[in-house]
């Protein structure tokens, strides 16, 4: 009970360091006082539109200063933000809005046309900011156990699930990271990852908890990132592998400045050539392991180990723990591979409206990630395989099951299997294996179009292979890892 | 529940950064791995002597590397340390041992003679370290709600009370301080304050939580402090006013090096001339407000405000809150003086075996400090008066009531009152006002000797004034603040 309440984060930060810069966005800057005032105003506008404490509200917004203001406005009045990936298809968005029972959707002006037929009120940014602001009922104290945000993630089977992030999850993630990376008042964090991902949202939380300025970009551009690292004194930046590749390319013969002290690498392990290229250009890479469920990284590798512990994600942050368990539930010994289970105050308490999944995936505070890995003798984590079949493409998680269920809904498709294939630009991209019904004549182009109508673009398979039979085990379970063998055969037949 | 458990602090730290230096003590250094190994060994030795999890064990030790090892050994096996001020008289120590129901007392070898007749087992350092070490039953996970340490503090009335510090109190104090002061891996904290005070013990906790080396001195010496600040790259040091005076004196025409970034000043407000002298010598002073009950500072003033907000203790740390309330329980407005009440995860949950005091001093998570102060329009705290009659002498708290009750036990004393008088060296020292019984002929020297037998030396009044009557109100309550008027009269009569 004693450790559950804390002052409202943004209000407290604006009280402590009102004049310190909170955000740089294009030509605009906001101090923490201004960020608080603007968010306070927006909170009153939300209230004026009938948005109430404890409601779930969908948020479909791009990286923008206004998005930060809206996200903090929701925090100020205790409204839970269901933060939607704006690369999703309309169908996916509608599904998540319905699943979360969101009371309304706040969205970009230009998305209104597309989303106006939603069953819940749709509030564009323009409309929100035009409403007269009421005096909002501030959540003066937050309870760390209360849900702050919901982010959907898919699993190996079934529909996406809304991962619950409490204020405490975000708090402890920020604190665990600060104890690992250190924090000084000259730090500035560049956010060019999406705010709708935990990688981006967690930077916002660090900003208010540390009192640290962030530089927000609409999207990632290597030259712009390098430019701002130099000119805005960026010291830390969150990246995924593809971003790091492009930075290294764009640097050409130059180097990053000395004040840049951390490229925090998420979204899958980095290949050796990339790490070596970074080393040559003195880019300090902190590899990490984490997922939406751990409210950003839970395991991090300090750069001094990046070569000696090549391929390792590092050690768990101070407040967190990991273990490797075998199929019989016993602890694995050093170097023995098994399932990675995680525990800590940054770990989600579960999924929105899905007590069944909580029962299945949690055991006495330990979350079963489904990922496979091992610990070496010194306790460094090596991740062998992301949770069964997960495809990581440019930092986005793609779950084959989700794509397969769309393909199977097509009347010409008898069976479908999806797996990731290596891709120079994105790390991996999805590829589909299709068994057609008798007499079906659908083309690859038509299937792609069908997927586009139902799925985010990045999830649409980049290639389709037509085959007569998919590899399934005796229980008819699809053996996705064997799909790549089919690919091999398919090449051999060409 | 989710935020209650964490890995054992020292074990986790030794796992994360085994080779990093933990402690410099004279010519010795220990890495975190070595500190863990030594503490592990000592934990096994404690266990060998029958010390068990959840027991309270008295600790009467000086600032020394061994003390750190023993304090962490107790943490490793979940034993609650009752940390005794080694300036106390034997009677005071015996009283605290009995009050805490401690199962044993660990003490310096040279104190054995004095304490051997205790009713509980007395374990000298020599004996402890000579015992064969068992394999200790480690507390692999700590619960933040569990008591870690007990430190006695007196109040305005009655006997000293054991302030309970949970692991969580220490954790949040360290985290709140890191978010305020920042933390980098070049930080090193000089500890020349006593480890038996929260000011010293809290540095130990910061060391393991941050992974930060500390430099431990047996006691404060200005020249040695300056020397180590220069040669051991000390960046932060905890001080009280008298220490700061001596450092400024000892600096003569020199300055502290640039890497020294924080003199964290506790134990009462600093006078303007001291702050100005520090400014002239570029000593960055962070004034603060805190007490044993808040597990070190809860309010801190950044140095950029040290002159503009002269006399202020600053703003509460991020996780903590303060309020000023009036006698009718209403909130004070800006600049209106009232009682300071505090709340936060660093605030004690109460006193050992004293549920009555908890009821009296706590209200919905808010601790009533008894201190008087006000907030200015910007929310900076100004402390006007430490809890009724508290005398702060060289960083030690002295409670008049405790000294009075000793004096009143003397057969020649009819009435006694104690108050603090200003002192150039110590800030304040206690002075006693005595009404003798008819026909009594006790001398000042005899009363001093009597006090010395019953009280720590620093509590013994430096001067005694014999008078005919003490100022008391209608309810016969002693008006201690009026004692200084008597002093004035006493001077006038001379």
Residue B409 near residue B381, CB atoms below 8 Å: no
Task: Supply the CATH classification number for the domain A391-493.
Answer: 3.30.300.30
Per-residue confidence (pLDDT) for residue A408, from 0 to 100? 86
Which residue is closest to A365 within chain B, CA to CA?
B2
Which residue is closest to A345 within chain B, CA to CA?
B3
Per DSSP bridges, beta strands B147-153 and B80-83 are parallel
Residue B296 near residue B199, CB atoms below 8 Å: yes
Tokens encoding B189: 């904290």
Determine whether the interchain pair A2/B315 forms a contact, defined as Cβ–Cβ distance below 8 Å.
Answer: no
Per-residue confidence (pLDDT) for residue B475, from 0 to 100? 61
Tokens encoding B446: 């005899």
Residue numbers of A between 90 and 149 with CB closer than 8 Å to B: 144-145
Residues of chain A with CATH 3.40.50.12780: 5-384
Residue B164 near residue B351, CB atoms below 8 Å: yes
Q: Does A491 touch chain B (CB under 8 A)?
A: no
B483: left (phi over 0), alpha (psi -120 to 50) or beta: alpha
pLDDT tens string A433-451: 999 988 888 999 999 999 9
Residue A344 near residue A176, CB atoms below 8 Å: yes
Q: Does A311 touch chain B (CB under 8 A)?
A: no
Band (pLDDT 50/70/90 cuts) for residue B494 is very low
Determine whether the interchain pair B179/A211 forms a contact, defined as Cβ–Cβ distance below 8 Å.
Answer: yes
Residue (of A148, A102, A129) closest to A8 by Cα position: A148
Band (pLDDT 50/70/90 cuts) for residue B19 is very high
Determine whether the interchain pair A209/B6 forms a contact, defined as Cβ–Cβ distance below 8 Å.
Answer: no
Tokens encoding B400: 């008049």
- B12, B168, B182: residue with CB nearest A2: B168
Domain B393-493 sits in which CATH superfamily? Answer: ANL, C-terminal domain (3.30.300.30)
- CA–CA dist B32, B15 (Å, integer): 8
pLDDT tens string A61-105: 999 999 999 999 999 999 999 999 998 999 999 999 999 999 999
- CA–CA dist A86, A51 (Å, integer): 22
- Residue, of B398 and B313, whose pLDDT is higher: B313
- Which of B9, B14, B16, B379 is most worth mutating to test chain A (most A CB atoms within 10 A of its CB)? B16
Per-residue confidence (pLDDT) for residue B14, from 0 to 100? 97
- Helix A32-48, helix A9-16: angle, nearest 10: 150
- A13, A182, A211: residue with CB nearest B184: A182
pLDDT tens string B128-179: 999 999 999 999 999 999 999 999 987 656 678 999 999 999 999 999 999 9
pLDDT at B320 over 70: yes
- A13, A145, A178: residue with CB nearest B178: A178
Across the range B223-243, mean pLDDT stands at 95
Band (pLDDT 50/70/90 cuts) for residue B274 is confident
pLDDT tens string B447-472: 999 999 888 999 999 999 998 888 87
For the residues of A95-164, what is the DSSP string, one character each? HHHHHHT-SEEEE-GGGHHHHTT-SS-EEEHHHHHHSPPP------EEETTSEEEEEEE--SSSS-EEEE
- A185, A318, A345: residue with CB nearest B3: A345
Band (pLDDT 50/70/90 cuts) for residue B439 is confident
- CA–CA dist A12, A398 (Å, integer): 38
Report the b/e string of B325-350 with b at 16+ CB within 10 A. beeeeeebeeeeebbbbbbbbbbbbb
Residue (of B62, B78, B318) closest to B200 by Cα position: B62
- B179, B210, B315: residue with CB nearest A210: B179
Question: Which residue carries 């000086």 as its tokens?
Answer: B62
- CA–CA dist B432, B434 (Å, integer): 6
Q: For chain A, what is the radius of gyration of the CA atoms? A: 23
pLDDT tens string B35-70: 999 999 999 999 999 999 999 999 999 999 999 999
pLDDT tens string B361-372: 888 889 999 888
Q: How confident is the prediction for chain B on average, in pLDDT?
A: 91
Residue (of A430, A362, A424, A371) closest to A396 by Cα position: A430
- Which of B182, B187, B350 is most worth mutating to test chain A (most A CB atoms within 10 A of its CB)? B182
- CA–CA dist A260, B186 (Å, integer): 16
Per-residue confidence (pLDDT) for residue B415, from 0 to 100? 87
Residue numbers of B between 364 and 423 with CB closer than 8 Å to A: 365, 379
- CA–CA dist B303, B275 (Å, integer): 10
Residue B225 near residue B242, CB atoms below 8 Å: no
Determine whether the interchain pair A12/B318 forms a contact, defined as Cβ–Cβ distance below 8 Å.
Answer: yes
Which residue is closest to A366 within chain B, CA to CA?
B2
Residue A167 near residue A9, CB atoms below 8 Å: yes
Q: Cβ contacts (< 8 Å) between B144 and chain A: which residues?
A: 3
- Residue, of B396 and A19, whose pLDDT is higher: A19
SS3 A182: coil
Determine whether the interchain pair A179/B210 forms a contact, defined as Cβ–Cβ distance below 8 Å.
Answer: yes
Q: For residue A183, give the DSSP letter.
A: B
Which residue is closest to A146 within chain B, CA to CA?
B2
Determine whether the interchain pair B182/A184 forms a contact, defined as Cβ–Cβ distance below 8 Å.
Answer: yes
For the residues of A204-246, what is the DSSP string, one character each? HHHHHHHT--EEE-SS--HHHHHHHHHHTT--EEEEEHHHHHH
Q: Cβ contacts (< 8 Å) between A344 and chain B: which residues?
A: 6
Report the b/e string of A436-471 with b at 16+ CB within 10 A. beeeeebeeeebeebbeebbbebbbbeebbebeebb
Per-residue confidence (pLDDT) for residue B6, from 0 to 100? 95
End-to-end CA distance of chain B: 66
- Which of A319, A320, A345 is most worth mutating to test chain B (most B CB atoms within 10 A of its CB)? A319
HSE-up of B343 (CA within 13 Å, CB side)?
17
Per-residue confidence (pLDDT) for residue A494, from 0 to 100? 45
Q: What are the φ/ψ torsions at residue A322 (nearest 5 degrees)?
A: -135, 155
Residue (of A15, A100, A88) closest to A56 by Cα position: A100
Determine whether the interchain pair A345/B6 forms a contact, defined as Cβ–Cβ distance below 8 Å.
Answer: yes
- Where chain A has pLDDT below 70, the residues are 1-2, 155-158, 269, 385-388, 474-477, 488-494
Task: Supply the CATH classification number for the domain A5-384.
Answer: 3.40.50.12780
Report the b/e string of A127-137 with b at 16+ CB within 10 A. bbeeeeeeebe
Residue numbers of A between 188 and 217 with CB closer than 8 Å to B: 209-211
- CA–CA dist B35, A109 (Å, integer): 59
Q: Cβ contacts (< 8 Å) between A2 and chain B: which residues?
A: 145, 166, 168, 345, 347, 349, 365
Q: What are the φ/ψ torsions at residue B488 (nearest 5 degrees)?
A: -55, -50
Sign of the dihedral through C-alpha B169, B172, B176, B178: positive
pLDDT tens string B75-116: 999 999 999 999 899 999 999 999 999 999 999 999 999 998
Q: What are the φ/ψ torsions at residue B187 (nearest 5 degrees)?
A: -75, 140
């Amino acid at each position: 009970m004693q450790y559950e309440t804390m002052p409202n984060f943004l209000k407290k930060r604006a009280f402590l360091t009102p004049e310190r810069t909170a955000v740089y966005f294009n030509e605009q800057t906001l101090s923490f006082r201004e960020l608080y005032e603007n968010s306070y105003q927006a909170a009153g506008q939300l209230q004026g539109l009938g948005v109430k404490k404890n409601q779930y509200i969908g948020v479909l917004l791009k990286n923008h200063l206004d998005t930060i203001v809206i996200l903090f406005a929701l925090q100020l009045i205790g409204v839970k933000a269901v933060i939607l990936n704006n690369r999703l298809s309309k169908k996916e968005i509608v599904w998540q809005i319905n699943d979360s029972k969101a009371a309304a959707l706040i969205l970009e002006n230009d998305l209104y046309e597309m989303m106006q037929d939603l069953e819940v009120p749709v509030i564009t940014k323009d409309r929100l900011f035009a409403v007269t602001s009421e005096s909002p009922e501030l959540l003066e104290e937050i309870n760390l156990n209360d849900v702050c945000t919901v982010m959907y993630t898919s699993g190996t089977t079934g529909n996406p699930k809304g991962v619950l992030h409490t204020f405490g999850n975000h708090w402890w993630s920020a604190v665990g990271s600060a104890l690992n990376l250190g924090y000084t008042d000259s730090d500035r964090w560049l956010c060019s990852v999406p705010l709708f991902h935990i990688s981006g949202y967690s930077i916002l939380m660090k900003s208010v908890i540390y009192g640290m300025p962030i530089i927000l970009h609409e999207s990632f551009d290597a030259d712009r990132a390098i430019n701002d690292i130099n000119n805005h004194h960026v010291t830390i930046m969150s990246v995924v592998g593809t971003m790091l590749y492009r930075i290294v390319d764009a640097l050409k013969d130059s180097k990053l400045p000395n004040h840049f002290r951390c490229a925090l690498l998420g979204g899958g392990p980095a290949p050796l050539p990339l790490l070596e290229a970074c080393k040559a250009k003195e880019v300090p890479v902190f590899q990490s392991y984490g997922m939406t469920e751990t409210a950003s990284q839970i395991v991090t590798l300090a750069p001094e180990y990046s070569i000696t512990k090549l391929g390792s994600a590092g050690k768990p942050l101070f407040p967190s723990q990991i273990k490797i368990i075998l199929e019989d539930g016993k602890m694995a010994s050093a170097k023995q591979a098994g399932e990675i289970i995680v525990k800590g105050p940054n770990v989600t308490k579960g999924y929105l409206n899905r007590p069944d999944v909580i029962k299945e995936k949690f055991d006495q505070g330990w979350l079963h990630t489904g990922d496979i890995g091992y610990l070496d003798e010194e306790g460094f984590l090596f991740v062998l395989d992301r949770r069964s079949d997960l495809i990581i493409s440019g930092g986005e998680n793609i779950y084959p099951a989700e794509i397969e269920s769309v393909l199977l809904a097509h009347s010409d498709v008898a069976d479908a299997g999806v797996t990731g294939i290596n891709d120079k630009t994105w790390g991996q991209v999805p590829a589909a294996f299709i068994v057609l019904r008798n007499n079906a004549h659908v083309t690859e182009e038509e299937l792609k179009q069908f997927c586009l109508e139902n799925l985010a673009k990045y999830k649409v398979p980049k290639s389709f292979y037509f085959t007569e039979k998919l590899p399934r085990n005796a229980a008819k379970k699809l053996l996705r890892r064997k799909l790549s063998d089919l690919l091999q055969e398919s090449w051999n037949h060409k």
